[in-house]
Structure 1
Amino acid sequence: MFGDLMGMMGKLKETQKKVEETKKRLDTVTLVQKNMDESISVQISANKQIIDLQISEKMKSSSSLESELKEVLNQALQEAGKIQEAELAAVAKDGLPNIPGLDKMFR
């Protein structure tokens, strides 16, 4: 019984290490999101950190800047979240023991 428990603990530690490595790797995965006329562009990491934000001169004086910026940022964050979720779920699935319902925690 304790052998199984010790093996499970070792597997959990290994999975935790892989999750941390995946999080570090996700810092290097980037995506670019733009609005329709490409007057706003945001580059974001899969860990949801803004790397670069560009706003064209014509958009800077636009009354719709705030709403356009929110939309582009939300789209970028949503896409980054999908990448992050898929990567971390794959690591967790490979490393965690088969416990009923555990797979639903990573969705």
Structure 2
Amino acid sequence: MFDIMGMMGKVKEAQAKIKEVQSQLVHLTAEGESGAGMVKVKVNGERKVMTIEMDDSLVTKDDKEMLTDLIVAATNKAMEAIDVKIKAKMKSATDGMLPNIPGMDFGNMFG
């Protein structure tokens, strides 16, 4: 028989663990680069850009459009990388706590 009270206890436990992990996401970082490393962007687990580094050779008036494209590409790669890390951290924090119910994907609850 299905134990609803037991499941509710697990859900509350998982919620507490999720809040704890979310408070630690600021310390999680990821980096994306483009232009063979000429532009690098670092983001944190709160999906905020922390730093942007670029090769000195890019900072000219004529290369402004290319530089903009490289920054966008590096930022997008960093955001994709941090999303993977956030999901992995959340999954490991709640692994085994929530029941495996066919058709229910709890993995998407975390970002």
TM-score by length of 2: 0.76
Matched ranges for 1:18-57 at <5 A: 18-57=17-56
The letter of the residue matching 1:21 is E
CA contact (8 A) 1:47 1:81 kept: no
Q: Which runs of 5+ in 1 are unaligned?
A: none
Q: Of 66, 77, 98, which aligns to 1:75?
A: 77
Structure 2: stretches of 5+ with no match in the other structure:
none
Partners of 1:35 and 1:68 within 8 A in 2: yes
Which residue of structure 2 lines up, in the alignment, with residue 91 of structure 1?
Answer: 93
- Check conservation: 2:31, 2:81, Cα contact below 8 A: no
- In 1, Cα distance between the equivalents of 2:91 and 2:103? 14
Question: Structure 2 counterpart of 1:52, which letter?
Answer: T
Deviations 1:32-58 (A, max 9, x none): 222234332211113322111223443
Whole-angstrom distance in 1 between the partners of 2:45 and 2:106: 20
- Counterpart in 1 of 2:107? 106
Does the 8 Å contact 1:32/1:42 carry over to 2?
yes
Equivalent pairs counted in the alignment come to 105
Equivalent position of 2:9 in the other structure: 10
SS of the aligned residue for 1:94 comes to: coil
Normalising by structure 1, report the TM-score: 0.78
RMSD of aligned Cα (Å): 2.3
Separation of aligned partners in 2, 1:37 and 1:100? 44
